[in-house]
Amino acid sequence: MSLAQRTPPTREARAVPISRRSAATLALASLAGLLMFVWPLVLQVAPTESGQPELQPPFLFLLLLPVVVLVVLAEVSEGGLDPRVLAILGVLSAINALVRAISPGLAGVELVFFLLVLSGRVFGPGFGFVLGATSLFASALLTAGVGPWLPYQMLCSAWVGMGAGLLPRARGRAEIALLAGYAVVSAYLFGALMNLWNWPFALGIQVPGHASSLAFVPGDPLLENLHRFALYTLLTSTGGWDTMRAISNAVAIVVVGPAVLVTLRRASRRALVVGVVATPEDDVQR
């Protein structure tokens, strides 16, 4: 009778391994997604018959963004998700969705990145990418928050989880400090990207030659529009919501992060068991 010898995985074992093809797909999709975020800054606007520029956002690309996210999710998990890993993914997605449902609106306190960063750190960039996308999708269904912003939120959160899995090695307090710092940076980047995609719609389109404002000006030089956007996001998001999101997630990582990391790594070891099946010859030798 064959026996299975189980050996614990190394620390580098990943719940959702990324092959070269998946990594290439992930890179191309991330580039395409980034272009969908920054379209106001790179869009070339042609003047109309009246001589005024007319904004024509790439709505076709906006409609393709959910397809891009789904393709990347399929590619990242092309090797198949082990039932135990799939169970962990489902539990963490549900917890993240619940945490996000009860935390927003409280002066910007939003703990959705806390568990996402720790999970990406333990299970790797592939798992972090999938968890970020599924967490925001589940949260949108739970809170009736489905809208044109959802694919952007899913992609941004997927990047946050993936980035946590790509952080350099560290242990002990250095690791906690690294994760807390990453949570702060990712909170500000998340807010800036989410502001960027809807910036022209939030303030409207400014007509060149009129009084200066923070609105997007089609056809203006890149640096001038960047300056307007920087002021806009600083006044509307960075100084308030983004800062509270950064502080709350960093504090959560420092306070309960070590205990959660231990729990997640224990779950990772149980899910990532490498089975070595003994041959009949081995049984005879015994």
- For residue 108, being part of any structural domain is answered with yes
- For residue 125, being part of any structural domain is answered with yes
| C-beta contacts of 276-282 below 8 A and 24+ residues apart | 276/4, 276/5, 276/6, 276/7, 277/2, 277/4, 278/2, 278/3, 278/4, 278/5, 279/2, 280/2
- Is the pLDDT higher at 103 or at 191? 191
CATH number at residue 55: 1.10.1760.20
Range in 27-31, 89-93, 116-120, 257-261 the model is least confident about = 27-31
What are the tens digits of pLDDT across the range 49-68?
A: 444 445 555 555 556 666 66
- For residue 8, being part of any structural domain is answered with no
- For residue 264, being part of any structural domain is answered with yes
**How far apart are alpha carbons 95 and 257 in whole angstroms?**
15
- For residue 168, being part of any structural domain is answered with yes
Contacts (Cβ under 8 Å, ≥6 apart) of 208:
52, 53, 217, 218, 219, 220
Which pLDDT value is given to residue 118?
Answer: 94
What letters, b where the CB count within 10 A reaches 16 and e where it falls short, cover 166-180?
ebeeeeeeebbebbb
Which pLDDT value is given to residue 129?
Answer: 87
Task: Print the domain residue range for 255.
Answer: 14-273
- For residue 283, being part of any structural domain is answered with no
- For residue 6, being part of any structural domain is answered with no
- Is the pLDDT higher at 89 or at 4? 89
Name the domain count of the chain: 1
Q: Tell me what percent of the residues of the chain surpass a pLDDT of 70.
A: 66
- Is the pLDDT higher at 183 or at 67? 183
Question: Quick count: other Cβ atoms within 10 Å of Cβ 28?
Answer: 14
Question: Quick count: other Cβ atoms within 10 Å of Cβ 161?
Answer: 31
What are the tens digits of pLDDT across the range 96-142?
A: 888 877 765 555 557 778 899 999 999 888 888 888 888 888 888 88
C-alpha radius of gyration, the chain, whole number:
22
Residue 178 clears pLDDT 90, i.e. is over it: yes
**How far apart are alpha carbons 55 and 200 in whole angstroms?**
9
Residue 11 clears pLDDT 50, i.e. is over it: no
Average pLDDT over residues 80-102: 80
